[in-house]
Chain A
């Protein structure tokens, strides 16, 4: 008995979502195979790698390569232009940390002005992340959606507590895409997707963000949630879980000790930069293995190597 493999190509497939317009657009999703199994059948849209830019300058202590990328930049728009030039980046993610009411609490108007300027500076499609405060994010997203109307961007994210206002103000009013963010549980992911579609959000404007964690920090739940979502979408044809999945990896990994502590404080761990890069690369690769259609990372080396990984698997 010799070995012969039959390709496993599913009858069902993941929906497609397009971020941006015209030449400046990126489509994610469309898969009808298990994650990264491009040997089964060619795919139109392999997973995309996005690069995170914050409206506050990054902490670059002990990170000479990251510092070099943004050297001399004085605002978000300039940083966006640099970020977009990183090899392998398919989209830029604008993060509005300064809006946090518990932090700098910058006004919606100021953040919108930054977003408009940054978007104009980007040769790549844009994904927008808020400050994780529901009230502020709602105000921020609806105002930005209006100011950036017609651009077809992706806003991350709408959650159980704010999906109505964000879906209405971002997707239904201006046709932007919206992320559905749930807490690492397939049922919660499905429930939010059902609620948003019932509200009237077009399915091809929804991207799932079923939660994330850094490798080693409860990541098993993230992996299993994503594995189950992909299985439900492809094997059971669950239309409410057939949206593409996006994972903001950087917001998780750059908060854990492995990525932040200096080489002086933990001499046996070595320099900070390789640790932060490897933490981001390992976590993002694991997400891709479980079916993320797009991952967001911060470091230019991570962007380049993850894009090369996808290319090597194609």
Chain B
């Protein structure tokens, strides 16, 4: 929780000695509160005051690294309040109780979902291994999980077994600390240098365990939202995040893990619904039974949307983008400079295999209809693009294809660019594949 200027002032020596370059201690305190100065600029702060301040000026939620993925570190409840910073990750699920054939199937399917969307790699970032049987089987399974190259999160409440697994395989996280085993599991996690996941029957038990771990010096933690019920897991997600961000409760300022296999085993639709819910509301690691394209396409799309910074428009540079080996004789498709639109349209043109010059015009980074409705994508803007980029001398083809959603622009574009044959393509980019092939 951010400290107010007055609280900081109370901790200063109140001598107004000006050594910090400020006229008074009060002025100094106000600047620290705004984040304009750091406390160590005052050489006379007592050690005790410094400790209190550094504690209080810590961010409300820690950033925890799991297998190279930064999780947590959020400062607001909702993206519009500023931005969300560290997107959640998705994890596959393995359990020592699974029949071998099922294990092999999971491992075979896992790498199949791996693609790029607007410059981001979309794949299952982690594998969760539920270690229930004897250490030997746990080690074998964890080794298989590690062979995928993904972050490996083991779930194990038995410290001896956890130690054996962590000693034999490189893991990225260990979850299973509770009121009974926390001390022993803490040594295992600390020795392995990995974050430790805490669980418990209810939030106050979890909180107590976290406090003990923190007192023992471990702040490399994350919180298991539990598997008692859907309602309970969602409640925990909401209450933990609210306590951390709004209540300044540092012991809940950690990322979370939620296991949808335990909440809705075998029900892929309910797992997808829950994955969406926890992407929106405070799940940091979401463990799922299946991540085929059916789940991945909407879920990764949702995550990408929710974790874009509202302060930064997603734009691509205006210009000529020759696709499929297009040259000056290839027809032109015109569209806007919104990154998503560019991505969708260019990937469909690529899929068609037809050489096309994709013309990206400056439309303020908006989608086709948004920029059209805002007057930023019009016959006028297309014509100025043609003159600014000297299209008529760079390209010999005189075929210009408009997006179907702005079919109304056809007449005006024709009169502004009289040398061009203006065609209107279908509404959706996906229809371009057939359209372009038939055009040839």
A residues adjacent to B (C-beta < 8 A): 1-5, 8, 34, 36-39, 183, 214-220, 223-224, 227-228, 231, 255-258, 260-261, 265, 268-271, 274-275, 277-279, 281-286, 288-290, 301-302, 305-306, 308-309, 312-314
Contact = CB atoms under 8 A, between A and B. Distances in A.
A48 to B, nearest CB: 16
A220 B301 contact: no
B243 A278 contact: no
Nearest to A304: B269
Contacts of B235: 37, 39
A5 B270 CA distance: 28
Contacts, number: 172
B280 A260 contact: no
B301 A281 contact: no
Given A282-B273, A282-B302, A312-B231, 12 more contacts: A3-B243, A3-B252, A5-B239, A34-B238, A216-B300, A223-B79, A255-B428, A268-B112, A270-B294, A277-B269, A301-B269, A309-B230
A237 to B, nearest CB: 18
Contacts of B206: 3
Given A3-B249, A5-B239, A34-B238, A309 B78 contact: no
B230 A312 contact: yes
Given A8-B242, A183-B373, A223-B305, A309 B298 contact: no
Interface in B120-171: none
Contacts of B79: 220, 223-224, 227
B302 A4 contact: no
Nearest to B433: A265
Interface residues of B, number: 60
Contacts of B348: 257
Interface string B226-245: 00011100110011001100
Nearest to B238: A37
Given A8-B242, A183-B373, A215-B299, A312 B229 contact: yes
Contacts of A3: 203-204, 206-208, 243, 249, 251-252
A236 B280 CA distance: 22
A81 to B, nearest CB: 24
Nearest to B427: A255
B65 interface: no
A238 B362 CA distance: 37
Contact of B305 (A38, A216, A260): A216
Contacts of A5: 203, 239, 243
B279 interface: yes
A223 B299 contact: no
Contacts of A38: 231
Contact of A289 (B112, B117, B276, B430): B276
A92 to B, nearest CB: 21
Nearest to B231: A313
Contacts of A281: 269, 272-273, 276, 298
A306 B267 CA distance: 12
Nearest 9 A/B pairs, CB to CB: A216-B301, A3-B207, A282-B298, A285-B276, A274-B294, A215-B302, A289-B280, A220-B305, A312-B230
Contacts of B207: 2-3
Contacts of A279: 297-298
Among the interface residues B267, B270, B275, B298, which one has the most CB atoms of the partner chain A within 10 A?
B298
